[in-house]
């Protein structure tokens, strides 16, 4: 009979779950080990580890909130402390108010991370605690699903960046409209979003460079081109078709008269001064 495999202890299984452990586990790789365009296996592994570390930081508030609620509700602090408040202060230097803020936020974050409405055209990196905090009170008064619908509606809207201020305004619009019907909620939010250009821009048409950057995600196209050049060209071809269609629906631009050429006085070659009016 073969040797029985020893079960890993809890400490061994979670050996690299803290930020410090994860940082210490990263490879000591600070210069290229290959000049080939394609990454080697060790380089791919190093990249995966680095990306996981960065993603862990981006979503740390979600994991921390869930962990804190487990510690609080299961009273896992009781062996060393008489209260949850004393435990988080001693262990993490964290006041109870902030711990509770993380606890109140994590369920909405978890729901959005798993949402099929947002995948595959989004990245979990877009989530941040400050944005979701604007939806927490609404989620507690109604439901996580309804609060998530507010976020998703704003996210899917054209020419709108998801910010804490925009989400706050969307929640206010939904409350003003009343009701819990999803279509009514979405309608109230879209009506609110339609007013943003009018209320936030002094001259929304004077500088549209930011809209161009959002319409043509150059960095994303370049990444796609490295992975699948044909797909990148298909994307740009479709984008061009949409541009041509939109241009065809616009009224013709006004013709701007070209400036008159200066007249020369006969026999002298000197310019004749232009008459002015007024």
Residue 8 lies in a domain: no
Residues 144 and 80 in one domain: no
Q: Is the pLDDT of residue 152 over 50?
A: yes
Q: Which of 71-85, 161-175, 221-235 has the lowest mean pLDDT?
A: 221-235
Residue 7 lies in a domain: no
Residues 132 and 187 in one domain: yes
Residue 231 lies in a domain: yes
Residue 20 lies in a domain: yes
Residue 141 lies in a domain: yes
Residue appearing with tokens 């026999």? 267
Per-residue model confidence as pLDDT tens digits over 71-105: 999 999 999 999 999 999 999 899 999 999 999 99
Residues 93 and 157 in one domain: no
Residue 262 lies in a domain: no
Q: Look up the domain containing 83 and give its range.
A: 16-28+46-106
Residue 118 lies in a domain: no
SS3 227: helix
Specify the DSSP class assigned to residue 276: -
Q: Is the pLDDT of residue 217 over 50?
A: yes
Picking from 74, 77, 141, the residue whose alpha carbon sits closest to that of residue 104 is 141
| pLDDT score, position 214 | 60
Q: Which of 87-91, 196-200, 252-256 has the lowest mean pLDDT?
A: 196-200
Structural contact between residues 144 and 108, judged by C-beta atoms closer than 8 angstroms: yes
Residues 184 and 231 in one domain: no
Structural contact between residues 211 and 196, judged by C-beta atoms closer than 8 angstroms: no
Picking from 112, 162, 105, the residue whose alpha carbon sits closest to that of residue 135 is 105
Q: How many domains does the chain have?
A: 3
Residue 53 lies in a domain: yes
Give the pLDDT band of residue 270 (cuts 50, 70, 90): low
Residues 20 and 102 in one domain: yes
Give the pLDDT band of residue 149 (cuts 50, 70, 90): very high
């Amino acid at each position: 009979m073969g040797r029985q495999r020893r079960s890993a202890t809890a400490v061994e299984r979670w050996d690299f779950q803290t930020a410090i452990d994860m940082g210490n586990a990263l490879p000591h790789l600070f210069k290229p080990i290959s000049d080939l365009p394609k990454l080697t296996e060790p380089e791919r592994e190093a990249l995966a580890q680095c990306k996981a570390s960065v993603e862990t930081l981006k979503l740390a508030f979600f994991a921390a909130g869930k962990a804190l609620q487990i510690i609080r509700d299961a009273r896992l602090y009781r062996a060393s402390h008489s209260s949850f408040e004393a435990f988080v202060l001693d262990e993490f230097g964290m006041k109870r108010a902030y711990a509770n803020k993380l606890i109140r936020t994590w369920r909405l974050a978890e729901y959005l991370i798993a949402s099929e409405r947002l995948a595959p055209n989004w990245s979990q990196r877009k989530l941040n605690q400050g944005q979701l905090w604007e939806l927490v009170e609404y989620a507690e008064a109604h439901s996580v699903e309804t609060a998530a619908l507010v976020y998703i509606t704003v996210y899917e809207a054209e020419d709108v960046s998801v910010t804490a201020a925009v989400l706050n305004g969307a929640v206010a619009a939904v409350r003003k409209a009343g009701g819990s019907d999803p279509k009514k909620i979405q309608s109230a939010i879209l009506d609110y979003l339609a007013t943003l250009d009018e209320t936030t821009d002094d001259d929304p048409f004077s500088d549209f460079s930011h809209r161009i950057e959002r319409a043509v995600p150059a960095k994303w196209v370049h990444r796609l081109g490295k992975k699948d050049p044909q797909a990148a060209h298909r994307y740009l071809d479709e984008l061009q078709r949409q541009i041509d269609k939109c241009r065809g629906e616009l009224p013709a631009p006004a013709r701007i008269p070209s400036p008159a050429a200066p007249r020369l006085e006969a026999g002298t070659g000197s310019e004749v001064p232009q008459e002015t009016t007024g």
